[in-house]
A = this chain, B = another copy of it.
Amino acid sequence: MPRDYWGELKDPVHGYVYITEEEKEIIDSFPVQRLHRLRQLAGAEYVYPGANHTRFEHSVGVMYLAGRVTENFNISQRINKDEAGMIRIAALLHDVGHGPFSHVFEYLLDRELDKTHEDMTRWILTNSELKDALHKIGYNPEEIGKLAVGTLHKPQKAFMDQIISSAVDVDKLDFVVRDTHHTGAEYGYIDIFRLIHALDILDENLAVDLGALSALESFIIARIESFKSIYFHRVGRAAQIMLATAMEKANEELGLTRFTTPDDYLAMDDYTVWTRLKSCKKSSGIIKNLERRIMLKCAYERTFYEKDTMISSIFSKEAHRKQLQADIAKKADVDVESVIIDVPTVPSVPYHHSVLMEPMEIPVFYKTLEGNRIPQRLSEISRIFEVLRGFINVLRVYTDEKNREKVSKAASKILGDVPSSAKISY
């Protein structure tokens, strides 16, 4: 099966991206072209006017970086041409399962259908027109579907999954620099090609050569600062919460989670769902506010660095959050709907199942002069990494502008006075 060069796309971040005839077929399919109408950072435009990039642009970038990884000699000698092609295609398709406003819709998916966007990606790859398109160019849709979400589990080749989905995968490498390029938030200029060049395989797992430790530490910091400044920014989160609430309220009427075919699901994108939320009575009020930048306000914020069971349960269980919301609303004497507790583990937080919330260990090694690769524990090697493990939990209470003071006081009473060091604004 030939893998001919067909032409190129010009990417503002990576420059020219050369693609094959087969890749062009997949790129021009409806499920991929639809990504033109899914913004990468829904809600962030209320903070960063330039944050308008789409999942299409990102997906092309991820494919490009996947290609660069497969050209790394350490990797290329372990895969054949077909596997290299698979990795690029899977990288291109890793986000096709996203719903409108990306992670915001995931909240609904999770609540109503107990699904993630990764589940949707696999479903679409094996049931939509992409199934035929993949067959036609010689790939197994089932396999691509698994690889696209990092669960192919090919014997002896765990690294294939890890290129697409792991602590240092091409998805994260792309969005860290791309989000910086378009938002202007200057936290993500990292040396991604140093990292890509430093990748190697230990047994069957992707690992990073400690020669690139500075680049690796910078990447980790970039992720954390981007999280604080972009993904979990107070105002951006307010917008996402408002969108999530609007979808929740309108769901019964609009049937957003009643799709039965991939085509039904894919008919939803930022454009169509925004339009429908705008005309649905139950959600139009929220949309009206968003259209005038009348945002929910943060009435309480507390940052936790340490693991704490109380916190963890608030963070992870919806029932517990609901209860707390009711308590605060009661004490503040406001409508229960006006009180929203937000934590990074809610499914609608972009990248919530990320390194940030959980003990993470990136496999690293150093090379002896004789060329042996000695595995290391990153937390033992890097003080920066060590301190950042498990970092960072932020609990916020949002409400309307008019209830801000009352809710702020009530939350303080129930959740504890916030020590000054936790009040800071980031």
A: residues with CB less than 8 A from B are 5, 8-13, 15-16, 27-30, 33-34, 36-37, 39, 45, 47-50, 52-54, 56-57, 60, 73, 181-187, 189-191, 193-194, 197, 210-211, 213-215, 217-218, 221, 224-225, 228-229, 270-272, 274-276, 278, 291-294, 305, 366-367, 374, 376, 380-381, 383-384, 386-388, 391-392, 420-421, 423-426
Give min CB distance, A206 to chain B, whole Å.
18
Copies of this chain, complex-wide, total 4
| Cross-chain contact A213 with B426 (CB below 8 angstroms) | yes
Q: Is the CB of A189 within 8 A of B191?
A: no
Please determine whether B376 and A383 come into contact, CB atoms closer than 8 angstroms. Answer: no
What residue in chain B is nearest A276 (Cβ atoms)?
B275
Cross-chain contact of A272 among B37, B54, B278, B424 (Cβ < 8 A) = B278
Query: Given that A33-B291, A45-B56, A366-B423 are contacting pairs, would A50 and B275 also be in contact in the complex, using a CB cutoff of 8 Å?
Result: no
A72 CB to closest chain B CB (Å) equals 11
Contacts of A272 in B (CB 8 A): 274-275, 278
Q: How far is the CA of A367 from the CA of B217 in the complex (A)?
A: 31
Cβ–Cβ < 8 Å partners of A423 in chain B: 366
Decide if B214 touches A15 in the complex (CB within 8 Å). no
Would A12 and B197 count as touching, CB distance under 8 A? no
Residue contacts A-B, CB under 8 angstroms, 24 given: A8-B197, A9-B49, A10-B48, A10-B49, A13-B50, A15-B193, A16-B194, A16-B197, A33-B293, A36-B45, A45-B56, A52-B54, A186-B190, A187-B218, A214-B229, A218-B221, A270-B271, A272-B275, A376-B420, A376-B421, A381-B421, A383-B391, A384-B388, A387-B387
Residues of chain B lying within 8 A (CB to CB) of residue A366: 420, 423-425
CB neighbours (8 Å) of A187 from chain B are 191, 214, 218
How far is the CB of A61 from the nearest CB of chain B, in Å?
8
Name the residue on B nearest A196 (C-beta). Answer: B16
7 more contacts with CB within 8 A, not counting A218-B225, A271-B275, are A13-B50, A28-B293, A49-B56, A52-B54, A186-B215, A214-B225, A272-B278
Q: Which residue of B lies closest to A40 (CB)?
A: B52
Q: How far is the CB of A217 from chain B (nearest CB, A)?
A: 7
- In the bound assembly, the distance between CA atoms of A307 and B177 in angstroms comes to 36
Are the C-beta atoms of A183 and B28 separated by less than 8 Å?
no
Compute how far the CA of A165 lies from the CA of B225 in the bound complex, rounded to whole angstroms: 26
Once A229-B214, A420-B366 are accepted as A-B contacts, the answer to whether A184 and B33 lie under 8 Å apart by CB is no
Check B293 against A210 for contact (C-beta < 8 Å).
no
Known: A10-B185, A184-B11, A218-B221. A291 touches B424 (CB 8 A): no
**Chain B residues near A15 (CB, 8 Å)?**
184, 193
Once bound together, how far apart are the Cα atoms of A426 and B382, in whole Å?
Answer: 11
Which B residues are CB-close (under 8 A) to A292?
28-30, 33
Distance in angstroms between the alpha carbons of A188 and B214 in the assembled complex? 12
Closest to A188 in B: B189
Chain B minimum-CB-distance residue to A192: B186
Cα distance, A426 to B212, chains bound together (Å):
7
A54 CA to B270 CA in the complex, in Å? 15
